[in-house]
Amino acid sequence: MAADLFQLDGRKAVVVGGGSGLGRASAVALAEYGARVVVADVDAAGAEETAESIRQLGREAIRRELDVRESAQIRELAEAEPDADVLVVTPGINVRKRLVDTTDEEFDRVVDVNLKGTYRLVREFGARMAERGRGSIITFASFRAEVVEPGQGIYAATKAGVVQLSRALAAELGPRGVRVNAIAPGPFETPLTEQIKSDEAWYGAYARKTALQRWAKAEEIAGAVVYLASDASSYVTGSLQLVEGGWTAIDGRFDPGV
């Protein structure tokens, strides 16, 4: 049955950044579809809260503390979870400043988490999945990989880099049974967007730009994650899955009265 394609029973999913926001929503959704979940996050308390919420569903979950800026920690996690069938990489930070106002330190900080952190994770887990001949890697880019606004330059550059890393890895590991896809969320209600939500004009403009005329809740990422993790997407790799309410599909400048 087609519905069975989405089931993840017997599989292990490692969700990095699972302590809050889209990572937490992803971890819970994967558990609901049968996966055993490892919740990894630099925020140990947040990771444990997510893991406990999964256990309350009657599903199996453990938490691990992880800083994606530390290669040794990532290697240790990959060695501790060599049978991971799914890797979800969600961590991201932003510095909302015009490029001419940014510093080298700010650039390095965003790149280290968003781009290099993703690289470290897909390198370690991808190699092990390739050895086993199967696996699904899901990276989190952003609609900012496709369209930008003033003050989002460094973030946008890193997320575009995540897309290309994912495509390259898909090409390299496809022959060995590993699929790699990126998700590009749009305006979601998460801790990362608190600065925008605190500005009524900014917040409202984002809602109006989408075709659906609203922000998304974190739980609305679940369908894309489960789909890409499961056999329902068995012939999907190297893709960018937009989950942005139609933001990039429409012009948005004017609604003609026709």
Residues designated as active site = 155
> Is 38:61 a contact under the CB 8 Å cutoff?
yes
> Beta-carbon neighbour count of residue 44 at 10 Å?
15
State which H helix or E strand residue 242 sits in.
Answer: strand 240-243
| Rounded distance between C-alpha atoms, residue 12 and residue 118, angstroms | 19
List 186's β-bridge partners, or say none.
none
Chain centroid to CA 255: how far? 33
**35, two tokens:** 């996966």
Going by C-alpha positions, the residue among 110, 237, 258 that lies closest to residue 182 is: 237
**Cα angle for residues 235, 183, 74 (degrees, 5° grid):** 95
> Is 13:27 a contact under the CB 8 Å cutoff?
yes
